[in-house]
Structure 1
C-alpha cells in the first residue's frame, strides 16, 4: 500500500539538536514542510556523506520553510557522541532522531527487521502532516541534497498551484503543465 497522501502516524521520540536533547512528535512536523531522512546507522560510511551534504544545504531547505530530520535506530546519546567526534556530523544543525525501538522505521516501512537498521528512506511531508513524496533504496546508494531540494520545490509548487504539474527535471522558473484533453499526445 502506498504511503502517498497518508498522514504521519503518532509518535514521540528524542532527538539530538544543537547541543540539546529535544522531544519530537508528529505534531512537531505540522505547520511546515518536513524532510525525514532515514539512514542505517551512526559511525558508518555512506551515512555521514549524506548527512553532511544535507548540512551543507540546510540554509537552502530553511529558506523553503523545510525542516530536516535525520533518523536511525541508534539512540539520541549515540547521535550526540557522533556529533561530538565527527568533523562532518559536527556541521549538522537539524535534529538527529533516535529510534532505538524502530517504531518510526516500522511506521514508514523502512525497517530491515533481521538487522534492526533502517533502509535509506526519504519522506517529504507537507504542513498538514501528509506524505507527498518518498523513495526507498538500497543502503549502498547515497542520496543528493540538491535533488531533494528540487523535489521539495516541485511538491510545494504543485500544492500551491492546483491544476498544474511539474514535468521531469522541472526547476523553479521552468514551465509547468496544465493537464487537459487538448495536450494528450502532444507532449
Structure 2
C-alpha cells in the first residue's frame, strides 16, 4: 500500500541532536517540511557517506524550511558514540533518531524483519504531516542530497500552487504545467 498522502503514524522516540538527548514524536513533523531519512545502521559503510552529504547540505534544507530526521534501529546512545568518533558523522547538526523497537521503521514500511534493520528509505513530509515523497533504494545504493533538494522544491511548489504540476527534471524557476484537456496528447 502506498504511503503517499497518508499521515505519519504516531511514535515517540529518543534522539541525539547537537550534544543532547531529546524526545521526538510525530507531532514534531507538523508545521514544517520534514525529511525522515532511514538508513540500516551506525558504524557502517554507505550510511556515513549519505548522512555526511545531508550534513553538508543541511543549511540549504533549513533555508527551505525543512528539518531532517535520520532514523536507524540503533539507540540514541549509539548515535552519540558514532557522532563522537566519526569525522563524517561529527558534522551532523540535524536530529538522529534512535528506533531500537522498530516502531518508526515499521510505521514507514521499511523494516527488514530478518535483519532488524531499516531499508534506505527517504520520506518527505509536508507541514500537514502527510507524506509527499517516498524513495526506497537497495542497501548498496547511496542517496544524493542535491537530488532530494530538487524533489523537495518541486513538492513545495506543487503544495503552494494548486492546479500546477512539475514536469520531469523540473528545477526551481522552470516552467510548470497546468493539467487540462488542451494538453492531452500534446506533450
The residue that corresponds to 1:6 in the other structure is: 6
The residue that corresponds to 2:70 in the other structure is: 70
The residue that corresponds to 2:150 in the other structure is: 150
CA distance in 1, matches of 2:39, 2:26: 19
SS at match of 2:129: coil
CA distance in 1, matches of 2:179, 2:27: 34
Shift of 1:175: 0.3
CA distance in 2, matches of 1:110, 1:128: 22
The residue that corresponds to 1:177 in the other structure is: 177
Shift of 1:163: 0.3
The residue that corresponds to 2:110 in the other structure is: 110
SS at match of 1:166: coil
Shift of 1:137: 1.4
Shift of 1:25: 0.3
SS at match of 1:7: coil
The residue that corresponds to 2:36 in the other structure is: 36
Residue by residue over 1:66-91, the C-alpha shift from the partner in whole angstroms, topping out at 9 and shown as x without a partner, is 00000000000000000000000000
Unmatched segments (≥5 aa) in structure 1:
none
SS at match of 1:79: helix
The CA RMSD over aligned residues, in Å, is 0.4
Unmatched segments (≥5 aa) in structure 2:
none
CA distance in 2, matches of 1:20, 1:178: 46
> Would you identify which runs of 4 or more consecutive aligned residues in structure 1 move more than 3 Å?
none
CA distance in 2, matches of 1:171, 1:24: 32
The TM-score normalised by the length of structure 2 is: 0.99
Residue by residue over 1:13-38, the C-alpha shift from the partner in whole angstroms, topping out at 9 and shown as x without a partner, is 00000000000001111110000000
Residue by residue over 1:120-163, the C-alpha shift from the partner in whole angstroms, topping out at 9 and shown as x without a partner, is 00000001100011011111100000000000000000000000
CA distance in 1, matches of 2:183, 2:20: 54
The TM-score normalised by the length of structure 1 is: 0.99
